[in-house]
Amino acid sequence: MSASKKTASRLNDLPESLICRILSFLPIEVAATTSVLSKSWRFVFAFAPDLSFRYDEGADGLAFVDFVDKVLVRRGQALVKKFSLYLVEGIDGSRVDAWILYSLRRHVSDLEIQIFNLDNWFGPPSDVFVAKTLVRLVIGTGDSCMINLEGNCDLPNLKILRLDEVQFTDDNIGFLKLLSSCPALEELAMVDMKWYDWDVCSLCSTSLQRIKVCWESYDDDEDHNGCPKSVSFDTPNLRLLEYSDDNANKCPTVNFDKLVGAKIHLRRKAEQEEEEEEEEEEENVAGDATGFWKGISNVEILVLTSETLEVLTEDHMPVFKNLSQLTMKTGPELRWESLSALINNCPNLGTLFLKVTDHNSWRQSGPLLKVNKRFECGGADEDKKTLIEQVKQFLEEINFEE
């Protein structure tokens, strides 16, 4: 028997369940090409428990739709564990809801819907928001449609929710309805949200343990960038927080009783600073994020940017009594006085990470050279003084201070 026939024989002898498991790690289009390896593999790819369909602009839209339809028909009633759709402009969206409903009827537990600028598609079907088998849900829609939650909303087993470039038809009311329908939710990510004119965003949940609210593609000229006018956190069991905002003053309610780690990027725009000065003159009210800083002051691990550090030093800086590890991510704008003030307000700081960029290459628009430096101290006054001296010397050595 030739070597090729022996290989084919071995492939044929593999259990179908194992073949399905192997193929589930491949994009469905790649998995489909394995049908030429063996007759017994001809349609096995269609029965993998994880299905991932991706359409990129410029591909053959009609062929893609036909391929997805045929795969789902071939699968019949086979259960689906994970179903992922990534679709962009170029195909007719009229078939998309049928694909999503197919996965829901087969008890999908992990659903990813990232669909942008499709004709004839108007947002996820309402069935998505009453799917009792869902444990993880990812939704990304961009500007092409809005999420409408006028009907029932009940996701009793959902533990992970990610909203990516999403709009709600009724802003915070719709979002609150979604959040309250997820009693088991542990992780929430809101990335590049289309906030526009939201007056308030209320993050209220006793089950949440991890929250991420940030921008991965920020544009100052976009109206939807920046959080709503007011953001409140009532999350007593939260353990990890990642939060970015260009309005550092709008956190009226903060409940972080069990917060362990935080990654914060706050900044103030120039126009915001001017408005705050006018408000303070008129109302004699301090415009700062003191309540927010006090709320996270019990964290053990903290990651800040240099912009955030400036906001913190402008406000009433609390004592971070439990902070043992501090990471500073910065460019050439880091001010030594600000960092020194923060270090002195961390009595139990054990480790400081500085992640900085060599400003010479930065100014020349050349390759950015990352400089990572780790400092450690024991928490005593002498150790703290030594730490401060070492950090200052390090900054001088890389010519941060001129």
Is 70 exceeded by the pLDDT of residue 357?
Answer: no
Does some domain include residue 22? no
Joined tokens for residue 315? 């406000």
**Does residue 6 lie in a domain region?**
no
Establish if 128 belongs to a structural domain.
Answer: no
pLDDT, residue 360, reads 45
Helix (H, G, I), strand (E, B) or coil at 136: strand
Confidence label for 122 from pLDDT (cuts 50, 70 and 90): confident
Asked whether residue 363 is assigned to any structural domain, the reply reads yes
Among 44-48, 83-87, 119-123, 210-214, the range scoring the smallest mean pLDDT is 44-48
For 274-293, what is each residue's pLDDT tens digit?
Answer: 454 444 444 433 346 788 89
Using the predicted structure, report yes or no on whether residue 20 has a pLDDT greater than 90: no
CB 51 within 8 A of CB 83: yes
Residue 69, both tokens:
């339809």
What's the chain's length in residues? 402
Q: Is the pTM of this model over 0.85?
A: no
The DSSP line for 290-307 is HHHHHHTTT-SEEEEEHH
How is residue 151 annotated by DSSP?
S
Q: Which domain holds residue 368?
A: 324-402
**Per-chain mean pLDDT for the chain:** 78
Please tell me the distance from the alpha carbon of residue 373 to that of residue 342, in angstroms, as a whole number: 17
Q: Is residue 90 part of a domain?
A: no
- Between CA 133 and CA 81 the distance in angstroms is 10
Cα–Cα dist 314/361, whole Å: 29
Number of domains making up the chain = 1
Q: Which of 40-54, 145-159, 178-192, 359-373 has the lowest mean pLDDT?
A: 359-373
pLDDT tens digits along 164-174? 988 888 777 88
367 inside domain: yes
Residue 143 vs residue 25, higher pLDDT = 143
pLDDT at 1: 47
Residue 87 lies in a domain: no
Host H or E run for residue 87: strand 82-87
Average pLDDT over residues 349-354: 87
| Residue keyed to tokens 């009940």 | 154
Residue 374 lies in a domain: yes
Instruction: Please list the alpha-helical segments (H only) found in 135-249.
Output: 171-180
